[in-house]
Amino acid sequence: MTQLSHLFSPIRIGRMEVRNRIMMPGMSAGQMLDADLNVTPEMIAYFVERAKAEPGLMAVGASEVVPPPATDKPRFPVSLYDDKWIPSLKRLVDAVHEYDTKFGIQLWTGGTQSSGSVHLSPSGIPAMAAAVADSRYAPKLKTLTVEEIAGVVRNFADAARRCKAAGFDFVEIHAGHGYLISAFLTPYFNRRTDEYGGSLENRSRFLIQILRAVREAVGDEMGVGVKINGEDFLAGEGGWTVADAVELAPLLEREGADYISVTAGVMGGTRLTIPPMYEKQGCFTDLADAVKKVVSIPVATIGRIKNPVMGDELVAEGRADIVCMGRAMIVDSEVVSKARRGDIDDIRKCLADCRGCADHEMRSIRRGSPGQVSCVLNPRMQRESVCIDIEGSAKDNPKKVLVIGAGLSGLEAARRTAFSGHKVTLCESRDWIGGQIRYAAMIPGRHEIADMLPWYERQLAKHGVDVRLGTMVDADLIRELAPDVVFVATGSVPQVPQQMLENVTNAQNIEFVMIDDLLEEQLELDDPVLVVGGDQIGMQAADYISEGGRTVYVAEAHKHFAQKLAANDRWYLVGRTMAKNVRRIKNVSNIEIDGEDQIWLHNDQGREHLPGVKTVVFASERRSDRGLAEVAKSMGLETYVVGDAFDASSEDAATIFANVAQAYDIARRI
């Protein structure tokens, strides 16, 4: 506590006395609704678990204030345009208020970045990139009239009144991320010539009217915050800038805002609103710092703040008053309580690998089943009501568990079974834990992916796992250990594609390298280089190899690249390789090496020569290594194959997300 005294100091926000400076900001995560859009017990369990750690503030994410067309049948998000939802929201609020945290909700409408059939806009300008839309709808753009703008203002006020009736402590008007209010603020999207367009005073009129109406609806006893962009990061002219934010902030203070939360980015901008690990930690804090200098009300900062120590420093340095830790509270619901007692090393830190949170949700929206959010390192995310983990639950009748392989799935299997109280031995043939995670952390911009390994080491020690490194497991060792349960987590190995075996045999002066060998042995490669395989491993390999200024080609059999990565990560990775002139070739059906060691690619565009290739790196196909599973089964042992050893090739396999979840789900049942 004394180490983080600034972060855990109280603050007054409007009339609210808030016990510390940590906020779980509004996110789409946790919004689990029934068919009638009522809050479910699962949603309550999600928020209550995080409320137990008692952050200063918590908020439900973007909640719709504008009624959709009658033909739409929304399934998501929380909706605030009818009194019928007040009772279920009150159940949520009452449950959270069992703990000492101030609970709020975001007032929102998405504009051109929503998934309904009609997209409201100031001027009929679409988003810079296509919104991730519900597959049931073909959206139409609608430019708001002055009368319709007044109606939306009333929608916000009515929604705020319902939030007050439900017992929320505060509301937050979402005016960022390119949503409807943000679009009114941004010249690129707002080309109106009436009182809502042109000057910043006019462009902010919509937001100011909403703020006034919301304040009038809830009175002074309820907190009212505003979330704004510090930057849109739009290429070219017409974007919202930090200078605009600095000019707007005092107006918001004057009109009664109790705090301002500063975020950044719009869909199609040069930087993303949900920053992956390619962005630095605290990537938007400079924007909050600029706004804080011109207002006296509290300012919140957001953007990859995963370590409470950083949060404490931001408050101590006067760069922000409130520190938003969103994904940090998804991956570890106890991050606040652990920070409070100084147990920083026990915090499971967010990797900013967005495959479980943002990407899983986007994929669910495309399937027409929105609201599915998870976490690559916390498989209990949004399953808190059914995955009830009780430490030591098996201690009175423990089993002997052998886990073979200390890659990610093996680490999770060992951790979770030991957490229950079983006697666990973890054997790893190498002298280190982590498996392919060690390789992944060598890729430019992705070193934080190894941040999970010290946490796993700590958990294994905490729960008494017998870790044996440099230990090859065979039938004799299995018999000696006499386990009741065996987890085979021996991973996968890269292999040469079947159709290229003859090429490898016949080539004279081309060097062939397996991706694992390239990274483990840090091999120097002759230039140019052809990477065979353009999914997550191949594209990361291309980024790694091209750092040396080499000419790199990537040959991919399918029409997309890095599909197993989260879209946010993929966007940055592809951008990095494009900047280094890595050439990507898709739909490659065959790779031919002739008698002169010349390489030819065959795809739907024909036959193409890649001149002078000296090195070929195989990064496409992997073979599951599960031989020890048959050995264990032949002994009559209860045997489970997890991670890449179970599946290294199917569409959703061989990711952190898949491997941790599978190992956890099996281990918790032992």
Return the H-helix or E-strand segment holding 548: none
CB atoms within 10 A of CB 6: 17
- The rounded distance, in Å, linking the Cα atoms of 546 and 167 is 55
Whether residue 263 contacts residue 302, with contact meaning beta carbons closer than 8 Å, is answered with: yes
- The rounded distance, in Å, linking the Cα atoms of 105 and 110 is 15
Q: Pairing between strand 259-263 and 223-229?
A: parallel
- The rounded distance, in Å, linking the Cα atoms of 629 and 641 is 7
- The rounded distance, in Å, linking the Cα atoms of 217 and 211 is 10
In degrees and rounded to multiples of 5, residue 575 shows phi and psi of -60, -40
96: closest CA among 58, 149, 134? 58
Q: Report CA Rg, the chain.
A: 27
- The rounded distance, in Å, linking the Cα atoms of 313 and 20 is 14
Contacts 24+ apart (CB under 8 A), 521-528: 522/442, 525/550, 525/614, 525/615, 525/617, 526/614, 526/615, 527/551, 527/614, 527/615, 528/552, 528/553, 528/610, 528/611, 528/612, 528/613, 528/614, 528/615
503, 506, 510, 516: CA torsion to nearest 10: 50
Tokens encoding 208: 């100011």
114 in helix, strand or coil? coil
Whether residue 389 contacts residue 419, with contact meaning beta carbons closer than 8 Å, is answered with: yes
- The angle subtended at Cα 403 by Cα 401 and Cα 408, nearest 5°, is 135
In degrees and rounded to multiples of 5, residue 29 shows phi and psi of -55, 140
Which residues fall within 8 angstroms of residue 605, CB to CB, at 6 or more apart?
Answer: 587
Whether residue 152 contacts residue 143, with contact meaning beta carbons closer than 8 Å, is answered with: no
Return the H-helix or E-strand segment holding 661: helix 656-667
Which residues fall within 8 angstroms of residue 151, CB to CB, at 6 or more apart?
Answer: none
SS (H, E, C) 558-593: CCCCCCCCCHHHHHHHHHHHHHCCCEEECCCCEEEE
Return the H-helix or E-strand segment holding 299: strand 299-301
What amino acid occupies position 533?
G
Whether residue 417 contacts residue 424, with contact meaning beta carbons closer than 8 Å, is answered with: yes
Active site residues: 179
- The rounded distance, in Å, linking the Cα atoms of 182 and 112 is 11
**Sign (positive or negative) of CA dihedral 333, 336, 342, 347:** positive
- The rounded distance, in Å, linking the Cα atoms of 327 and 279 is 14
- The rounded distance, in Å, linking the Cα atoms of 116 and 118 is 6
Distances (CA, A) of 228 to 176, 183, 248, 521, 660: 4, 11, 9, 47, 35
400 CB burial (10 A radius; 0-12, 13-18, 19+): middle
